[in-house]
């Protein structure tokens, strides 16, 4: 079984554009640590950084970040999302993230208020409608995809844990504890 943890730990920044094709306004947004491992070899872990912000939430200033067009909500406690390799028309190979007991294999709700569809982990291409983008350019995306393909077998499940991004009062939920104490 493969696990992907999208943590609340900020590790850098990446540009986010207002519109597809790197058009409109641009703003640097935080990136977060992504860990991937196989339970068959839990000591071998791979690390990446990922964007979580949506262009709509950043540029339209939505207060509630998990509504339609916002970012992917954290999964329910003790109930990871699932993922499958998926070839998307616009984004190419990606991971489709969904809830196991959802109405289909492309939707999720997690801790959000509404059902979300077509949430992907894909290459960070500049703008986002709520997907998580692997930061670091095409080479880093190729490395991520290579790791997933090397670890994944046809019978393997891919589990995705999305930690809450503002975890001040949710330390019991976090898998990765920050290296420094919170103020």
Residue that is written with structure tokens 């991520």 in the block: 144
Supply angle C-alpha 87, 105, 152, rounded to 5. 55
pLDDT tens digits, residue range 81-110?
999 998 878 778 899 999 998 889 899 999
Which 3 state secondary structure label does DSSP give 103? Answer: coil
CB atoms under 10 Å from CB of 100, counted, come to: 12
- CA dist., res. 56 & res. 65, Å (int): 9
Q: Are 24 and 136 in contact (CB under 8 A)?
A: no
Q: Would the pLDDT of 176 be above 80?
A: no
- CA dist., res. 113 & res. 176, Å (int): 25
Q: Would the pLDDT of 177 be above 50?
A: no
pLDDT tens digits, residue range 137-150?
899 999 999 999 99
Mean predicted confidence (pLDDT) in 170-178: 48
Question: What are 62's two structure tokens?
Answer: 């939505």
- CA dist., res. 99 & res. 118, Å (int): 11
> Which residues share a beta bridge with 120?
96
pLDDT bucket at 80, cuts 50 / 70 / 90: very high
Domain boundaries, the chain: 2-162
pLDDT at position 75:
93
pLDDT at position 58:
82
Say which DSSP state 71 is in: P
Mean pLDDT of the chain: 85
Q: What share of the chain is helix, strand, coil (3-state, %, to 5)?
A: 10, 45, 45
- CA dist., res. 106 & res. 100, Å (int): 10
Q: Are 76 and 66 in contact (CB under 8 A)?
A: no
- Which residues lie below 8 Å from residue 176, measured CB to CB, with a gap of 6+? 5, 7, 8, 9, 33, 35, 163
pLDDT at position 175:
54
């Amino acid at each position: 079984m493969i696990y992907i943890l999208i943590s609340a730990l900020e590790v850098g920044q990446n540009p986010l554009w207002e519109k597809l094709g790197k058009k409109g306004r641009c703003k640097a947004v935080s990136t977060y640590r992504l860990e991937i491992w196989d339970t068959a070899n839990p000591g071998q872990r791979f690390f990446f950084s990922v964007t979580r912000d949506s262009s709509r939430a950043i540029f339209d200033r939505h207060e509630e970040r998990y509504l339609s067009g916002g970012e992917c909500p954290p999964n329910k406690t003790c109930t990871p999302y699932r993922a499958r390799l998926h070839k998307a028309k616009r984004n190419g190979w990606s991971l489709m993230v969904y809830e196991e007991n959802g109405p289909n294999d492309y939707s999720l709700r997690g801790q959000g208020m509404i059902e979300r569809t077509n949430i992907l982990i894909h290459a960070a291409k500049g703008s986002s409608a709520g997907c998580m983008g692997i930061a670091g350019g095409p080479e880093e995306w190729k490395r991520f995809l290579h790791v997933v393909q090397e670890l994944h077998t046809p019978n393997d499940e891919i589990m995705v844990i999305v930690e809450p991004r503002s975890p001040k009062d949710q330390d019991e939920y976090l898998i990765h504890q920050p290296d420094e104490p919170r103020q």
